[in-house]
Amino acid sequence: MGAHVLILALLALLLGCAAPSGERDPHAHDALSCNRCHAGGLAAKGLAGVDSGSCTTVGCHPDGGPEAARLDLVQFSHRGHGRDADTPPGCAGCHGHDEGEDPLRASLDSCVLCHRDDIVQVESRDCLLCHGEAVHTEVTSQGAPVRHAWSRNLENRCLRCHYDVGDAPIDVAVDRCTDCHAASEDILRVGAGVDLHPSHGGFGCQRCHGPTSHRVRAMSSAVSLACADCHADSHAEDEDIAGTDPVESCRECHDGVHVQQQQLLLGLVDQPQDRPSHKFMAGLSCRSCHRGEPGGPDACRDCHDPSYTRVLDWWLEGLSVRESLVRADVERARRSLAGRSEAVERVASADSLLSLVEIGGGVHNLELSDWIFHRSVELVGEAFHQAGVFRPQPPSLGNRARDGFCT
């Protein structure tokens, strides 16, 4: 049974091979005997290789399977894939199963072994060669929705969040050899420094190399907070919490904490234009400014000359004045327009936007906070107009924030 489950059920399951009914069938090869695909003296142990010819014979996949395939987020040309590589993987190089009647699977781990040079020290545009345009929505560690389409206009966008992606180790441990070969000493003597690929045709890459790890190893703290970075000693004496996963255990009681900060830093607010913070775009992490739990001006000196330590106070003062002015405008509208449903909706929208800055801290994104202040005042004006009520004098918010400047 290990036979066609080795190369074909995966074509059925992941790469689009269809059962007679036209539906994908992960067990399309259940009726095949092992030696229909496997050959050699170890076939009974499920260790014999599978020549690609056993997959492409008449009645199976004579055309080489589907022309295109999709695996996880990667779409690629499938038919003849890897044929011109220095070490052509064949069908079995990518498609395999663990043992017995397990369905065939294709794994990204196999891809990485051939495409290793394409994923080391890459830029975001290199990611798009395989992964294409990501359009799905994920959530940050604190629950803020992130639409990947939001990132299209960001410079070096993929690596802004996925900044550390795992390499592919290509060394083969001797204990992988002893899964099939008994004389490990002979293996070391004969096989050291020799290309063993020609004598191991028809085997899955992972049979020898083991699982690789082209995975995201580290995310920007803008999207994935590590609670213990700032709260290392919190609940240290609590036996029910000590030793548990720090992020998951914190989230059980503190779900949603810092979500507003993440929204501001990433610019995750409905608006005509994406406005992620210049701090985020410059690659700063939360710990870049937050040496202790609250951030402080001394952290500015790491990147700027000492005179910049005054800037934080300027920011905080300006934000505080504008928050107070806009909050007073919103509350006045709430009192004046109570009971007028459509007007109340606009006032509620203004309140929601303003609360984002009040809770999240406008210093995390000055330009977006400035936009929120002005948009909140606009919504209040629209509410008065909708209700047919005279709009009192709106607050004066001073000069607009300038992108990329400190003031």
Residue 10 confidence (pLDDT) = 36
H helices of 163-291, in order, are: 174-177, 184-191, 205-209, 246-254, 259-266, 278-281, 286-289
* Distance between CA atoms of residues 32 and 172, nearest Å: 32
Tens of each residue's pLDDT in the chain, 407 residues: 444 433 333 333 333 333 333 344 656 666 777 777 776 655 555 566 777 777 877 567 878 788 888 876 677 888 888 888 878 888 888 887 766 666 677 777 777 777 777 766 667 667 777 776 777 788 888 888 888 877 777 777 787 888 777 766 677 777 777 777 776 676 667 666 677 787 777 777 777 877 666 777 778 878 888 777 777 676 666 656 655 555 566 777 887 888 899 889 888 887 766 788 888 888 888 888 887 667 788 888 888 888 888 888 899 999 999 999 999 999 999 999 998 888 999 999 999 999 999 999 999 999 999 999 999 999 999 999 999 999 999 999 988 877 666 54
Q: Are 323 and 313 in contact (CB under 8 A)?
A: no
**What's the DSSP call for residue 338?**
T
Whether residue 253 is contained in a domain is answered as: no
Task: List Cβ neighbours of 260 (8 Å cut-off, separation of 6 or more).
Answer: 355, 356, 359, 360, 361
H helices of 194-310, in order, are: 205-209, 246-254, 259-266, 278-281, 286-289
Task: List Cβ neighbours of 287 (8 Å cut-off, separation of 6 or more).
Answer: 221, 229, 230
38 beta partners? 50
Residue 2 confidence (pLDDT) = 44
Residue 308 confidence (pLDDT) = 84
* Distance between CA atoms of residues 23 and 231, nearest Å: 51
Residue 387 confidence (pLDDT) = 94
CA end-to-end span of the chain, whole Å? 70
Residue 3 confidence (pLDDT) = 42
- Phi, psi for 76 (deg, rounded to 5): -155, 165
Stated as kind and residue range, the H or E segment containing 138 is: strand 137-139
Whether residue 227 is contained in a domain is answered as: no
CA distances from 400 to 142, 283, 331, 379 (A): 30, 25, 23, 18
Q: Which domain holds residue 45?
A: 2-117+168-209
Q: How many domains does the chain have?
A: 1
Sign of CA dihedral 222, 228, 234, 235: positive
Q: In 3-state terms, the chain is what percent helix, strand and coil (to 5)?
A: 45, 5, 50
CA angle 16/22/25 to nearest 5° reads: 55
Residue 343 confidence (pLDDT) = 94
Q: Is 170 helix (H, G, I), strand (E, B) or coil?
A: coil
- Phi, psi for 137 (deg, rounded to 5): -110, 130
Single pTM value for the model: 0.68
Whether residue 217 is contained in a domain is answered as: no
Angle between helices 366-387 and 341-360 (to 10 degrees): 160
Which residue in this structure is represented by tokens 């985020």? 280
Which amino acid appears at position 165 of this protein? Answer: V
* Distance between CA atoms of residues 219 and 245, nearest Å: 17
Burial (CB count <10 Å: 0-12, 13-18, 19+), residue 86: exposed
Whether residue 19 is contained in a domain is answered as: yes
Whether residue 349 is contained in a domain is answered as: no
Whether residue 195 is contained in a domain is answered as: yes
* Distance between CA atoms of residues 95 and 60, nearest Å: 15
Residue 11 confidence (pLDDT) = 35
Which residue in this structure is represented by tokens 């052509």? 88
Q: In the structure encoding, which two tokens stand for residue 22, read together?
A: 């036209």
Whether residue 12 is contained in a domain is answered as: yes
CA distances from 94 to 22, 47, 50, 52, 81 (A): 24, 16, 12, 11, 10
* Distance between CA atoms of residues 44 and 117, nearest Å: 37
Whether residue 361 is contained in a domain is answered as: no
